[in-house]
Amino acid sequence: MKILSLNIRGFAVKGKFGWVHSICIKERPCIAVFQETKSKCVSDKWVNALWGDTNFGFIQKEAIGKSGGLLVIWDKGSIEDIEATGGDYFLALRGKWKKSGEESIVVNVYGPHSDHKKKLMWDSLDRLINSTDSSWLLCGDFNEVRNSSDRLNSQFHQCRADRFNEFIYRNKLIEIPISGRKFTRISDDGVKFSKLDRFLVSDRFISLWDDLSIITLDRNLSDHCPLILRDKLIDYGPKPFKVFDEWFNYVDVDKVIIEAWKQPVKGVKKIVFLEIV
């Protein structure tokens, strides 16, 4: 499984179409999501040339003037029974993975800049997530950071970060760590750095795959790095349990662990749990 996410900042810029095409050919993602396409309605022929294969489907949200625009492309050999929905700041793809038969909803997000519009986006995504019981993946350019270390040489707003984190905790989402680079976006003058691009997933989405990781590719012709979420099975022997550092940011996580540890397990001798203060 591979999912590509990239804020392309306009496909019409010279060289960008060929750059993305080369990524699609080399990486062969099962789903690709693009933000800020700055494109009006694109055709099957155009997507076919970009994707490099005829066995695809796609949905799009047209740009308004020369700003915005979202595009999602998927491999029909990997995912089926597609349904799609959208909002002002996202496109959502719902389908079943052919390999497992499990359902997932993949949401391509391009966050607004103003506080008011950000609140509208969080509210819309809340409603979307609460509307159905499924495994979730939200990815794209959220145009927001989670803490001050996600920015360098640019202004950090604690209240905005708090709202973003509250949205993540409220919906029990987990951020997949990014390897290779600390920041995903660099300003054109090379001075400002920020981490705006992310993959947020639900527990159920994690359970569908063995080892999820993110790799970053070279920025090349965009100010954002292309990110690829992938599952990679490495045999380290039997796994005792799975844990993500993100879980430890939840309130009272220690109490949940202690209570779970105390629960009896059939066929196993009782172990005394020592709480270390």
Domain span at residue 141 reads 2-262
- Classify residue 276: in a domain, yes or no: no
Q: pLDDT tens across 7-48, in order?
A: 999 999 999 999 999 999 999 999 999 999 999 899 999 999
Q: Is residue 221 part of a domain?
A: yes
- 88 within a domain of the structure (yes/no): yes
Which residues contact residue 216 at a Cβ distance below 8 angstroms, ignoring those fewer than 6 apart? 178, 179, 180, 181, 184, 225, 226, 227, 228
The string of pLDDT tens digits covering residues 105-137 is 999 999 999 999 999 999 999 999 999 889 999
Domain contains 9:
yes
**Looking at residue 111, which CATH number applies to its domain?**
3.60.10.10
Does residue 145 sit within a domain?
yes
Question: Looking at the predicted structure, is the pLDDT value of residue 200 above 70?
Answer: yes
- CA-nearest of 257, 255, 224 to 243 is 257
Q: Is the pLDDT reported for residue 275 higher than 80?
A: no
Domains in the chain, number? 1
In a domain, 44, yes or no: yes
Q: Is residue 196 part of a domain?
A: yes
In a domain, 271, yes or no: no
Maximum CA extent, the chain: 67
pTM of the model: 0.82
For 162-181, the pLDDT digits (tens) are: 999 999 999 999 999 988 78
